[in-house]
Amino acid sequence: MRYLRNPFPIVNESINLRDYESQINQAMEKFFNNFFRIYEILSFKKVMISFWELVDNTRSFNPLDWYDTFAVFILRVFTTQILLDEGRILQETRDIFINWFLYLARRIMPNQNYLSNNFLNILYTDELIPIPDFEAAGSLLEENIDLIQNYDYPNILSDDTVPIVQRLRIFRVFFVGYYELFKRKCVFIENFLYIAESRARPLQDIRDIFQLYNNNNRTPPELPREALKVLIHIRNSGTHRNMTVLTDGSIRIRDYNNKNELTYENNRSIVQMHEYYHALLVMDKIFDAIALAIMLKRRIEDLYIFYGKFIQCPDCGTTNKYCILPNMILIICKTCRFPVGL
């Protein structure tokens, strides 16, 4: 993946991955055995070596290397469990992450052969914004970057020297801007899914794309479904100026439907408001993990398309498909482990 970023230096600043070496190795082995053990050109030993070399920064990161891509994927998935173990996120946040990933995998992976490599690059990278209205999305992104740089978001939410009304305004602009970028990724995925799922037209609203108020095979599990509902309410409340600072310093959040009927109400402290942004961040980063998972599978499958050959073992007589890369002189029979010369 051309735009694959190296997350290890950033993660190493806040997490000592060596403290979780045994658990990470178990997770890597389980995932590798479930999905990639059948590919004889891959080595789990090399998976482990590559991962821990990146952790220790003893070799350069290669965004085009399969093992480095696998390492980034494992890091993306497993750090959520580490943060839970260290009490830095809630169990609910971790469960939302896992259930949202499994849901998107269920909808996208069976149709992944229809995806272009460019689709995956766009879904993964932050440099490319997957919508036709590039200038509008770029403006939202620039506004959020400005808030981070000039107002030290999210730390400003707990800064009592800043008036609470100003802190609320900063949160509102920041959350709504990020929500709109998240929504555009959802619409981008929908523009692929509606064709793959043989539907008449693409949908444009998150509640429709994910069938939040229905109960069918396009509806997410309960935790991510309810999280999406709440995030929609927070976006609406922020956009329509229905977030109010009360006399006790708490924030009252309200949302109304088209009939002006109250559909959501909650009271939070200004610091707690960041929890909504964090939930949005968790769900957005799943798109990275999905893109990585598909790319891992695709890279190997492409090799077998170009270099795959059926070879019969002279010892046990079994015929299997092997990836015969240039300069290979020997393979090991998948059935009896007999060495077969080429």
Rounded to whole angstroms, the Cα distance separating 118 from 150 reads: 34
Percentage of residues in the chain having pLDDT higher than 70: 92
Per the structure block, which two tokens stand in for 270? 């200004």
How far is residue 50's CA from residue 202's CA, in Å, rounded to a whole number?
Answer: 41
Residue-wise pLDDT for 12-59, tens only, equals 998 999 999 999 999 999 999 988 988 989 999 999 999 999 999 999
Q: What was the pLDDT predicted at 134?
A: 46
User: Would you kindly state where each structural domain of the chain is located, as residue ranges?
Assistant: 310-341
Q: What is the pLDDT of residues 293-314, one digit of tens each?
A: 888 988 898 899 999 999 999 9
pLDDT digits over 72-127, tens only?
Answer: 999 988 888 888 888 888 889 899 999 999 999 999 988 887 777 777 777 776 54
Q: How confident is the model at residue 181 (pLDDT cuts 50, 70, 90)?
A: confident
pLDDT score at 185: 87
Give the separation between CA 1 and CA 47, rounded to whole angstroms. 18
Going by their DSSP bridges, the two strands 330-332 and 339-341 should be labelled as antiparallel
Task: Output the six-digit token pair for 271.
Answer: 């610091």
Residues 6+ apart with CB under 8 A from 188: 122, 123, 130, 131
Q: What is the rounded (10 degree) CA torsion for 81, 86, 92, 98?
A: -10
208 to 170, 219, 234, 242, 247: CA distances (angstroms):
29, 9, 17, 23, 37
